[in-house]
Structures are given as C-alpha cells and as structure tokens.
Amino acid sequence: MRPVSEPSDNNPRLLVSVRDADEAALACAAGAGLVDAKDPANGALGALPVETVREIVKCVGASVTTSAVAGEPDDAAALASCVAAMAGTGVDYVKVAVRADHPDLALAEAAEAAPGRLIGVLFAGDVFGLNIVSRLAAAGFRGAMIDTRAKDGQRLGDLLLPDDLAAFVAACRAHGLLSGLAGSLSVDDIPALAAHAPGYLGFRGGLCRDGDRRNALDPLKVSAAVAALRALHRRDAA
C-alpha cells in the first residue's frame, strides 16, 4: 500500500468499478481517478475474490488510487471480518455497506480492520439521517458514499433530491470524510452531480457496453466520462 493522493479541491474525480486486471488497465489508461474492484454480477456491492483484487492492485501499481468492495454483510458483527479480508489485498480503500441500525461498536470494529482506509456505503433507497455521517467519522471511517442497491434502472436522482445529495456531501466535508455519489449514473449526470463537489463520482453500468453493468467496460464511454470531468475542471480554473 502507498500514500494516497486524495481530492484536494471541489472537483470530483472519476471512480470506475472494474471486475479484473484488464478492465483496471483500461480505466487507468483512460484517466480514471480511482479504480474500484467490484463483482458487478453479484449485486450493488459484490466482492471479488481476494486474489483477483490483488491482481488488480498489482496491475495498477502506483499509477492510480484503488479501492475494493467488501460486500453487504447481513449481520453487523460480520462487518469487521469482511473488511479485514479485503484490507489485506493492498488496496488504498475498502468499501462496505453500512446501515443506520448498525451499532457504533460494530462500526468501530470494522474501521479498526482497515485503519484510515474504510469507506461506508449507504443505499439511497434506505432510510437514514445525516447523523450517520458523524457516527461513521466518530467510528474511524475515512469516507462515505451513497449508491443504489437495486440495479433495475432506477438512478441516484430518482431516489434522492439534489438538496439531499448536497446536504450529504456537506456533512461529509464538515466531518472530514471523503464523499462519493454513485448509482446507475451516466455521463450526462456529471455536471449536476459535480456541482455538489463530492470527492468522487462512481460509475459502472453507464460506462459498459450497451449500458449493462455485467458487460465489459466501453473504452469510449470511460474516456467520455474523463473528458466531461476535465472540462468542468478547466471551466472552474478559468
């Protein structure tokens, strides 16, 4: 594991979820800011085998930040063990699904399994208040994201209003957490979501062939997403 280059301004970086080393290499070549290891055939936060994640980390090297999904444990007591298994692969960040009813102790134990590296993922269709952000920070999490659980065509904007997303990002910033927004996003969503200034915008299906997250990444779509974010960066710098 190496020092992580984190977003230092209000311009989000592109998170691209990949399923193997070949896709990781494609995402890096296109200019992704974070390569995220995930099994798209196994739900919103399906975990890849640890050996596959190690191959992705080896492929990426020091060229880009990495993360890996640790899954969606049904039992809060299983959070720490899921996180620990993925933390050992050498990724920069570990992502795991969290819920508002998870006890503070379970959250803290999960954070201890990946010190300074754990990202809590909340689902837009669940009921949670912004106090979960302060709880994650207090437990030792490094960041928080919002995603969509059911990959059935519903997008992040179908489930949460812009004001909700802005409040979430602001709460993360206030508590010193990295923030991310994801959930069946398309390149066309980038300008509106980037206006909230999250650390990352997360993509999978919107960058795959035929818009199907189970298909391979489309290099043209990945490049288009990178170009869209860079255009916003240039505009803001002008």
Active site residues: 38, 95
The stretches of the chain forming alpha helices (DSSP H) are 21-30, 50-60, 79-87, 104-112, 131-139, 156-159, 162-174, 190-194, 219-237
DSSP assignment of 174-229 equals HTT-EEEEESS--GGGHHHHHTT--SEEEESGGGBGGG-TTSPB-HHHHHHHHHHH
Query: CB neighbours (10 Å) of residue 62?
Result: 8
Cβ–Cβ < 8 Å for 40, 52: no
The answer to whether the Cα torsion of 88, 92, 95, 101 is positive or negative is: positive
Burial of residue 156, with CB atoms counted within 10 A of its CB: 0-12 exposed, 13-18 middle, 19 or more buried: buried
3 state SS of 173: helix
Query: CB neighbours (10 Å) of residue 238?
Result: 5
Q: What does DSSP say about strands 143-147 and 178-182: parallel, antiparallel, or unpaired?
A: parallel
